[in-house]
Chains A and B, each alone.
Chain A
């Protein structure tokens, strides 16, 4: 064992732990911190279910070592809703548009699309599809996810902003 002491902020809460150097960030979140919202599918960077935000960037938590997150800010799906439990605008749009069924891909979809909406408040349908091209969903056929994102973007822009389409 090669134990290394790390200090990480996850969803605005600071955690200090000793981790084995070979522990991936996803395993650290799920097993060490008990944050099981981040899902593990393929564990080699293909399915996108384990996507979290590292500082503000979407990354695969199965391809990052926990030690590499030392000193960084992580946002997982558990950190997207407001403190009082009300859903984020994107999460709310997901429920209204039926953008999830089994829910396995949802944490990766939500974190990835949260990043997209932060950098592009008016994404086109093509841009949304491109953003989630690295996230596999076997239930929805993707279209409800795209619809939910467009709806969330319009709500975030406010009532007076024109739609990009």
Chain B
């Protein structure tokens, strides 16, 4: 047995989970367990109480509520990856999940778990960022929504209190005919990205850019929206000139993170190349009749 001793709790409702969080000393919420369990096996994490969310049925599901797409926090990554609703409404999510870890991990791992773990190189906060998603949490003072842009309070720490439970994510799907791309560079298939780039775009009939969102993971502690490029490219033709200008905007980003393997300069270099490639692919797919070709 590798984890340190703890007391196990298995609430069946969100209210019960919030109550336990408030009462217990040194608790930890357990979602899919694909990051927390390794940390507990290594004893990097030694919670006194583990509150398992897996019995709370209300936290799982994917549904359209009017114009808004809602994904429950405990929805398994595999179920999102293979959802026909997601493939139509947000194909960028299905594309990103092709690169998220391996099938055994996606079978168990959850979107909510990943968004709360907040690894800076993870694809999942990045696609929620490019979709302008909001995260729904609930605590003793009731429910509230936190925009993805404000979700990361610091390195691997979400902006919710220790009394709160994440219940889901919601966002407005982009219009039919939008272009999308999620591209990344990683050392092996299924590894975390060194750098990943998510792009969403709409073009008019003259193939001018009418709406654009770009988000990059692996360069900062939070997914980084390339806001200046998003503004500069509006109204421009969707061509090589536009992708070059977008890549130049990456030169202006200060403090790109680095580690022993990947320097800040290398990550910047990758971010520029992958931003150009992702824009090209998204431009190609926009208003393209056969753009539903999600190959996997």
Contact A112 B7 (CB under 8 A): no
A62 in the interface (beta carbon within 8 A): yes
CA distance A2 to B52 in the complex (A): 15
Q: How far, in Å, is A22 (CB) from chain B's closest CB? A: 4
Residues 174-226 of B at the A interface (beta carbon under 8 Å): 188-190
CB-CB nearest 10 A-B residue pairs:
A134-B102, A21-B8, A44-B38, A63-B37, A57-B107, A22-B3, A58-B104, A2-B7, A133-B190, A59-B108
Which residues from A are CB-within-8-Å of B104?
Answer: 48, 51, 58-60, 112, 134
How many chain A residues touch B (CB < 8 A): the figure is: 33
Which residues from B are CB-within-8-Å of A97?
Answer: none
A147 in the interface (beta carbon within 8 A): no
Which residues from A are CB-within-8-Å of B54?
Answer: 68
Chain A interface SS verdict (over half): mixed
Which residues from A are CB-within-8-Å of B105?
Answer: 45, 60, 134
Contact A21 B101 (CB under 8 A): no
Q: Would you give the 0/1 interface string for B1-45, flagging 1 where the beta carbon is closer than 8 Å to chain A?
A: 111111110100000000000000000000001100110011000
B103 in the interface (beta carbon within 8 A): yes
Which residues from A are CB-within-8-Å of B34?
Answer: 45, 60, 63
Q: Would you give the 0/1 interface string for B248-270, flagging 1 where the beta carbon is closer than 8 Å to chain A?
A: 00000000000000000000000
Query: Chain B residue with minimal CB distance to A50?
Result: B104
Which residues from A are CB-within-8-Å of B101?
Answer: 134
Which residues from A are CB-within-8-Å of B190?
Answer: 133-134
Q: How far, in Å, is B188 (CB) from chain A's closest CB? A: 8
Contact A58 B7 (CB under 8 A): no
Known: A22-B4, A24-B3. 8 other contacts (CB 8 A): A21-B6, A44-B42, A48-B104, A60-B34, A60-B104, A65-B52, A112-B104, A134-B102
Contact A64 B4 (CB under 8 A): no
Which residues from A are CB-within-8-Å of B108?
Answer: 54, 57, 59-60, 63-64
Contact B5 A22 (CB under 8 A): yes
How many chain B residues touch A (CB < 8 A): the figure is: 30
| B8, B41, B103: the one within 8 Å of A112 (CB) | B103
A20 in the interface (beta carbon within 8 A): yes
Given A2-B7, A2-B8, are A21 and B103 neighbors across the interface (CB < 8 Å)? no
Q: How far, in Å, is A107 (CB) from chain B's closest CB? A: 13
Contact A45 B38 (CB under 8 A): yes
Most chain A CB within a 10 A radius of its CB, from B4, B107, B296: B107
A156 in the interface (beta carbon within 8 A): no
Given A22-B1, A43-B41, A134-B104, are A63 and B33 neighbors across the interface (CB < 8 Å)? yes
CA distance A67 to B52 in the complex (A): 10
A-B contact pairs, 10 of them (CB 8 A): A2-B6, A24-B41, A45-B105, A48-B104, A57-B78, A62-B41, A64-B33, A64-B108, A65-B52, A115-B103
Q: Would you give the 0/1 interface string for A127-145, flagging 1 where the beta carbon is closer than 8 Å to chain B?
A: 0001101110000000000
CA distance A2 to B10 in the complex (A): 13
A117 in the interface (beta carbon within 8 A): no
CA distance A112 to B42 in the complex (A): 25
B138 in the interface (beta carbon within 8 A): no
CA distance A48 to B34 in the complex (A): 13
Residues 86-134 of B at the A interface (beta carbon under 8 Å): 101-105, 107-108
CA distance A57 to B109 in the complex (A): 12
Which residues from B are CB-within-8-Å of A116?
Answer: 103
Which residues from A are CB-within-8-Å of B38?
Answer: 44-45, 63
B238 in the interface (beta carbon within 8 A): no
Given A22-B1, A45-B105, A63-B37, are A130 and B189 neighbors across the interface (CB < 8 Å)? yes
Q: How far, in Å, is B122 (CB) from chain A's closest CB? A: 15
Q: How far, in Å, is A48 (CB) from chain B's closest CB? A: 7
B278 in the interface (beta carbon within 8 A): no
Which residues from B are CB-within-8-Å of A65?
Answer: 8, 33, 37, 52
| B8, B33, B78: the one within 8 Å of A4 (CB) | B8
